[in-house]
Structure formats: structure tokens, C-alpha cells
A and B are shown apart, each in its own frame.
Chain A
Amino acid sequence: MSYAANLAMTLPELVLGVGAIVLMLVSAWGGPGSTRLVSWASVAILAGAGIALTGPAGNGGPAFDGLYRADAFAAFSKVLIYIATAIAILMAPGFFQRTSGDDLRPEYPVLMLLSAAGMGMMVSATDMLTLYVGLELQSLAAYVLASFMRRDARSAEAGLKYFVLGALASGILLYGISLVYGFSGTTLFDGIAAAYAGQRSMGLLFGLVFVFAGIAFKISAVPFHMWTPDVYEGAPTPVTAFFASAPKVAAMGLAVRVAIEAMGPATDQWRQIVIFAALASIVLGAVAAIGQTNIKRLLAYSSINNVGFALIGLAAGTPAGVAGVMTYMTIYIAMTLGSFLVVLQMRDEDGQPVETIASLSGMSRTRPALAAAMAMFMFSLAGIPPLFGFYAKFAVFDAAVAAGLFPLAAVGIAASTIGAYYYLRVVKTMYFDEPVTAFPRFEGEVLQGGLIAVAAVFISPLGYFAIPLLGGWAMAAAQALF
């Protein structure tokens, strides 16, 4: 295959990488004044990378001798990643403008673009080396973003914690990769699958366990979730929204691809790990969230809980299960980004962010539309039927039952009722408690309001009209892996 054909398949990453370099030069000469321009240009570049997926980058097949694969699965994940990244870029200026402390600098969107390039590599990787380099590109940018508010001690703490624990997880993952490489003799997913299909040595099994442990950290599945609440609480809210959406999709895509393409013949071995992580995440995410008083910590436990549900689809190990995971992640990022957009509206008279759940009291009377949107996101995250979040849970449980995993589905459904408690507590605070102080409205928030409305419409019962389209894409994406 010619070099140009290879490059054409990695066009989205090229667009993002070159775009990030150009915008970095713009920001180097333009200074902090160019933030607005760089932000909008970044969104345009993300859109350009999305358009590039319509070409050979969308379904071109293997590139660079099997290091990288451009297929429907990668394209589906990348669309989600680019949308979530663009929204995280768009929600930042309003937050940094009103929060005292550090201003938004143009490096924020540039780092987001580089992170998106890394995430694209993660979901397209069909070689352990591509996987690792993409993961590091994404993570390294995320560490910097977490401590973007340098004068805020909590933000610095979040960045440091994320960095140290992320480095530890990378070490575990690399150790697993080195074991797999040592015992299979290749880093290509095809070759690894062939090694797992043959006689399985102890080393290959150890490698599998370590690789899954490393990935579990990146998707913050229990028992590797400890960093999540602290990092989500400390990081600036737009960055937290980003962490809870795009990198989650990328890490989940990576987990699915490694599990199915590289370790597919060892499904029975990794299924035990995935089932344990799924159930532990669902239960711990639900129980630990009950005592939280900070809305960002609550949403962090909510993301742990939701990752558990998505993993149920992976545990099925079938095309329907993988399609369920992708459907789940699509609906999950709409609900999560919507919730964080509402959290961004929680500010006191001076415009400083407020994060306690108690401050939401009586919001139904002071900001009825916002309260209604938040209530919808909470009901949807809890999986209450008329809303779209129910369909997401239905898709993964359906796949698990079809694969014969009845006990898993039963325990999962039972545990989801624990989760419903804390989601409903937020709704109760907003609708039945006496108002304390109203969150003031600020000028120029049409864009954020519009984004909240779009997310709310998508997860409303109207979202069910999207099922034929969404289900079809998710199935096409899943079929690309089998």
C-alpha cells in the first residue's frame, strides 16, 4: 500500500495534529487575547476531522502494516469523541471568565485537540504500541488540563494525583503488554489473538490480567477507581466534563477492541474480570455516591456506576453486546455533558462556582427550565423508563441476557435501583426543598443554554426516534470487530 493511502486513513489524526501545531503558533504570537479565535478554530478543526471520517479514514481497513485500523467502530467512537471534545472547549470560556483566579489561555483548546488525536489513535489501534502511544498522548494532555487553574490548590492537587496514579496505571498496562509480547512474540492484535487461540501459557494469562487492570484504571472501573472523585472534584468544571465524556469513550473503545480483537479467543478468561469490574463498579458507584455533598463528586461516582453498566455489554462478548456498549456510551455522554452544563450554571452572586448539592434547593422555583433539564438528566441517568437513559441500560442488559448471563443482568438491574436513590435525591432537593439563594443569570449564555436544550431533547422520549439510526450505526461498528 502506498504511503499516501496509509496517510489518508489516518487523516483525522493528521488534521488534529497539524491543526494543533498551527493553533499553538497562533497562540504563541497572539497571546491570551487569541483565546476566543483559537477556541472556535479548534472546534472547526474537530469538525474537519469528523468530515475526514467520510473518506477512507472511515472504513479503509488496516493501515501502516496493521498498526492502525480505520473501520466503522473507530469512526463511531471518533464521532463521539470529537463532539464531546468540542462541547468541552465551548463550555470553557464562560467558566474561566467569571471564576476568579486564572484566565483561560489558548493552550486549553490546543491541548484538547492533541488529546483528541491521542484518543483517535486509541480507538483505531490494532497494535499494542499504537495503543500505548495514543493512551499516553491523551493522558499527558489530560494531566495538564486537570491542573489548568494553577492558583487553585485543588486543581493542582487533582493534576498531581491524576499524574501519579495515571503513571502507575500506565506502568501496570506496560507490564502486561510486555508479558503478552514476550509470550506471543508480536504486538499486533492479530498475532496476539493467534497466540491466545493456541496453547495458552501462564504468561499470556498474567499479561491479560495486567492489561485489563491498566485499562480498568483508564475507564475508572472499580477497583481502580480511587482517583476519580478527587480528580473530578478538583479539576476545573469544563475539564471535569471533558474527563467524564471523551476519554471515557476512548478508553471504553480501546477496552472493547483489545478484548474482542486481541484477546477474543480468551473470552472466557477476561469475562470473569469484566463481570467483577462491572458489578463492583455498579454497586460501589451507587453506594458511595449516597453520602456525597458535592455535585461534582456525585457525578464522578455516577460515571463509575455508568461504566459498570457499559461493561455488562462487553461481558456478553457478542456483536450485540458491543453495539450495546457503543449505544450506552453515546447516551451516557449526552446525559453527562448535559449535567455538567447545568453544574456550570451553579454560581453565586459574584459569579463564583458553587458545588454543594444543598445549593440546588428549590431551583424549580428560581430557575424552572434549568431545574427541569437537570431533573431529566438525573432521571435518565437513573434509567427511569420514558427517558432515553432507559434504552441504554436496556440495550446492554438485553445483550447480556441473550449471551446467557442471567445472574449478571439480574444483579445489575437490582443494583441500579440503589443508584436511583441518589439521582432522585438531587431531584427532590431541587423540587421539594425550600429555596436558599437563586443562581443568577449572566449575559451571553445562549450557547450553553442551547447545548443544554439539545442534550435534554436527545435524552427525552424524542430520542427514541433516533434508535433505528443509532442502533444501525452501533451494530455496524460492532460488526467491524468480529
Chain B
Amino acid sequence: MIQAIAFYLFAAVVILSGAMTISSRNPVHSVMWLILAFFNAAGLMVLVGAEFIAMLLVIVYVGAVAVLFLFVVMMLDIDFAELRAGVMRYAGIGLAVAVALAAEVIIAVGAWSAGTLDLTRRVAPIDPVVPNIQAIGNLLYSRYVFIFEAAGFVLLVAMIGAIVLTHRERSGVRGQNIARQVNRRPQDSTRNMQPPVGQGVSL
């Protein structure tokens, strides 16, 4: 029962925040709604017993990608002073969001400990003994190793592409040459001088 309630709660919030992501006028708000959508999708994953994917969703998307998005958003011209103006005015809303998220976490944990969502016609039943991570690892590095390696090649192409399209040879730049720095000897760089009184040194 609690699983069903939790499912509808999370599903409704995912759809709502997805709609808000594309309809908010302020890009920062869009990113925030997106994070909320990811967070609730992670809750859905917990409900079907895929804790590892839920964790990935939070760590990879909410963590890395959302921060990346925020960087992009910051490159857009947004007046942050104006945004910060009403911190105290919106404190109540912020607190409410925090409470709602905390409540969601509690519900998710409660639902998860009550057993995973019972899906009818489940084509790939979960083995209760083998943990998620082990099950994925078993498949990823044996049966799907070919595709796994090919995915590595896709990332390699992305790297090459980023460098090909953006890297420029700039002239007049003094790059650090560590080998030259290490090879430098005192006798090459210092000179003993005995200048007579009243005369300068020419370098």
C-alpha cells in the first residue's frame, strides 16, 4: 500500500517538475526543477528495487550534470543581484521545499523497507540475494563487454571532437616546460661577478 502511494507521489512530482522545467521563464528555476525531477526519478528507481540506479541518478545527474547546467546558466546574462534580493521573502518557500524533500526521502525509505513495488508481468525478476551492483557488474563485464568497450570509443570520439573543434595553437604563449626547469643547473643560471667599486653590473 505504502509503495503505491509513494509511486504516485513520485510519479506526479516527476511529471509536474518536468513540465515546470520547460515552462519556467527563469533558466535558474528550470535547472532547479530539473534537479527535483531527477531526485524524484531516483525515488521511483528505489521503489522498483534498483537502488544502484537510483544512486547513480542522484550522483551523476543531480551532482555533476546539474552543476554543469548551472555553469552554462551562469554564462547566460542573468542579474543575480536581482535574484538575491528576496532571500528572506522566499525563506518560507525554501523551507517548505526542504521539508517536502525530506518527507519524500522518509517515504521512499519507508516504502523500500516495506518491500519493492510488486510489478506484474515483470520480465526480468530481481534476485533478492544478489545486490544490484554485483548483478550489473556481472553482466556489464561479461555479456555486454563488447558494447561497454564500444561506449568507451564513443567517449573517445567526444574527446577528440572537443579538442579538434576548440583547440587553437596560440603563438607568443610561454608554456611551462617542466623538463627544462628540472634540467637547469646553477652554473648555467648564475654568474660570479666582482664589480669594481662605483661601476654597475651588465646582465
Does the CB pair B147–A129 fall under 8 Å? yes
Distance in angstroms from A213 CB to nearest chain B CB is: 22
Alpha-carbon gap, A65 to B143, bound state (A): 7
Identify which of A63, A118, A137, A148 contacts B164 (C-beta below 8 A): A148
List A contacts of B163 (CB < 8 A): 107
Q: Which residue of A lies closest to B143 (CB)?
A: A65
Over the window 40-75 of chain A, the binary record of Cβ atoms lying under 8 Å from chain B Cβ atoms (1 yes, 0 no) is 000000000000000000000001110110000000
Tell me if A141 is interfacial: C-beta within 8 Å of chain B. Answer: yes
B124 part of interface (Cβ distance < 8 Å): yes
- Given contacts A133-B150, A137-B157, whether A111 and B144 have CB atoms under 8 Å apart is no
**Does A158 reach chain B (CB closer than 8 Å)?**
no
Instruction: With A185-B123, A185-B124 as known contacts, state yes or no: A141 contacts B147, CB within 8 Å.
Output: no
Known: A105-B164, A110-B160, A111-B161. A140 touches B147 (CB 8 A): no
Residues A150 and B123 in contact, CB atoms below 8 Å apart = no
Q: Is the CB of B153 within 8 A of A114?
A: yes
Complex contacts, A130 vs chain B, CB 8 Å = 146-147, 150
Is the CB–CB distance between B150 and A137 below 8 Å? yes
Interface size range of chain B in the complex: 10 to 19
- B103 surroundings in chain A (CB, below 8 A): none
Cα A143 to Cα B158 in complex, Å, equals 10
Contact with B along A1-43 (1 / 0, CB 8 A): 0000010001001000100010010000000000000000000
Contact indicator per residue, chain A 441-463, by CB within 8 Å of chain B (1) or not (0): 00000000000000000000000
Q: Quick check: B153 and A137 within 8 Å, CB to CB?
A: yes
Residues of chain A within 8 A of B124, CB atoms compared: 185
CA distance A134 to B147 in the complex (A): 9
Chain B residues with Cβ under 8 A from A219's Cβ?
none
Give bound CA distance, A51 to B174, whole Å.
Answer: 48
Quote the shortest CB–CB distance from B191 to chain A (angstroms): 37
Q: Which residue of B lies closest to A66 (CB)?
A: B143
Let me know if A107 and B160 touch, CB within 8 A: yes
**Cα-based distance from A21 to B159 in the complex (angstroms):** 12
Q: Is the interface of A mostly helix, strand, loop or mixed?
A: helix
Q: Is B165 touching A144 in the complex (CB atoms < 8 A)?
A: yes
Whether the Cβ atoms of B154 and A140 lie closer than 8 Å is yes
**How far apart sit A159 and B161, CA to CA, in the bound complex (Å)?**
11
Chain A, range 129-181, C-beta contacts under 8 Å to B: 129-130, 133-134, 136-137, 140-141, 143-144, 147-148, 150, 159
Instruction: From known contacts A17-B153, A117-B153, infer whether A140 and B146 are also in contact, taking CB-CB under 8 Å.
Output: no
Q: Is B22 an interface residue (CB 8 A)?
A: no
Which residues of A sit under 8 angstroms from B143, Cβ to Cβ?
Answer: 64-65, 67
Any chain A CB within 8 A of the CB of B133? Answer: no
* Residue B145 at the chain A interface, CB threshold 8 Å: yes
Q: Does B136 contact A (CB under 8 A)?
A: no
**B156 an interface residue at 8 Å Cβ cutoff?**
yes
Residue of A nearest to B151 (CB): A133
Determine the chain B residues whose CB is within 8 A of the CB of A127 once the complex forms.
Answer: 147
Please, how many angstroms separate the alpha-carbon atoms of A102 and B112 in the complex?
58
Q: In the complex, are the beta carbons of A141 and B157 less than 8 A apart? A: yes
CB-CB under 8 A from B146, the residues of chain A are 6, 10, 63-64, 67-68, 130
Which residues of chain B are within 8 angstroms of A133 by Cβ–Cβ distance? 147, 150-151, 154
Contacts of B165 in A (CB 8 A): 144, 147, 150, 159
Q: Which residues of B contact A337 (CB under 8 A)?
A: none
A257 to B6, CA, bound (A): 42
Contact yes or no, A140 B161, CB < 8 A: yes
User: Does residue A252 face the partner (Cβ distance < 8 Å to B)?
Assistant: no
- Using a CB–CB cutoff of 8 Å, the interface residues on chain B facing chain A are 123-124, 143-147, 150-151, 153-154, 156-158, 160-161, 163-165
What are the nearest 10 A-B pairs in CB distance? A185-B123, A144-B161, A133-B150, A64-B146, A140-B157, A107-B164, A141-B157, A137-B154, A129-B147, A133-B147
| 11 interchain pairs, CB-CB under 8 A | A13-B150, A65-B143, A67-B143, A107-B160, A114-B153, A118-B150, A127-B147, A130-B150, A136-B154, A144-B157, A159-B165
